[in-house]
Structure 1
Amino acid sequence: MSETSARTHLTIDQMLNNARARLHRLDARETAAAVADGALLVDIRPQWQRATEGAIPGALLIERNHLEWRLDPTSGASIPEATDHDVTVVVVCSEGYTSSLAAASLQDLGLHRATDLIGGFHAWRAARLPVAPGS
């Protein structure tokens, strides 16, 4: 038996469930309140998706492939808002799947207050919270 076949692998559903078990996920109204209290709202959707669906005014735009580098306060590529590991970060994607995995990854970096928006941008829009039209 090869070393690879002897290892146990997670399915994406197991991986997602593990990530979400660590998060205190927020609904759209809770997210808006957290942002009003100073949390960073980080939209990780690619530009084409924001152009199609719309955007959340005031959200930081950091596409998924740059997220950890931009929010790790010890990274030479961090954004000014990434001041320390106590910053509250709420990650938003389109429907709330990728954002859960991304928030768990940020927790792995020590950003212990990282979480995500349940239902993603679609839930934000459905809650009739402010949305800027896409281009």
Structure 2
Amino acid sequence: MTGIDKFLAEARTTLTRVTPQEVDALRGTDALIIDIRPHHNRLAEGEIPDSIPVERIVLEWRLDPEGTHRLPNFTADTTVVVLCNEGYSSSLAARDLQRIGLPKATDLIGGFRAWSTAGLPIREGGTQAIT
């Protein structure tokens, strides 16, 4: 295994990845569900209720538990679930969040598409992402 496949496999060794059903159970708790999909995907396909869209380019700044540009109301102990379209980019993003001080960061297996296929709730998409 070489290239991106190796890089992805290494990133996932530190993650306790979660299923769509496990993420659904986290909705309404103090966990953060972070959607890093591009706006056009969220607009076309919808969003997970209670998720927070955050542009990938600012993800680490908004989720650094000690950063001055962070989102409010979370700590280093907060469970953070990152999702992308199919669960690849989100694994790399979650690994990066662990590196900056969020040991409970992980990602959604199969991404938004797995959530949708599972028939779980979807809200209308297009929420303005945090930049």
User: Is the structural similarity TM-score above 0.5?
Assistant: yes
Give the length in aligned residue pairs: 125
| Deviation of 1:34 (Å) | 2.5
2:39 equivalent to 1:47: yes
Could you tell me which amino acid in structure 1 is paired with residue 87 of structure 2?
Answer: G
Deviation at 1:45, TM superposition (A): 0.8
How far the C-alpha of 1:42 sits from its partner, in A, is 0.5
Amino acid at match of 2:100: L
Larger radius of gyration, structure 1 or 2? 1
Is it true that 1:99 corresponds to 2:90 in the alignment? yes
Q: Which residue of 1 aligns with 2:55?
A: 63
TM-score by length of 2: 0.89
The answer for unaligned runs of 5 or more in structure 1 is 1-9
TM-score by length of 1: 0.87
Please, what is the CA RMSD of the aligned residues?
1.4
8 Å contact 2:61–2:69 — kept in the other structure? yes
Opposite residue 114 of structure 1, the aligned amino acid is A
CA distance in 2, matches of 1:34, 1:54: 19
Aligned to 2:78: 87
More helix by share: 1
- Displacement, 1:116? 0.3
Q: In percent, how many aligned pairs have the same letter?
A: 50
**Match status 1:78 vs 2:70:** yes
Partner of 2:23: 31
1:36 is displaced (CA, Å) by 4.0
Task: Please state how far the C-alpha of 1:104 moved relative to its aligned partner.
Answer: 0.2
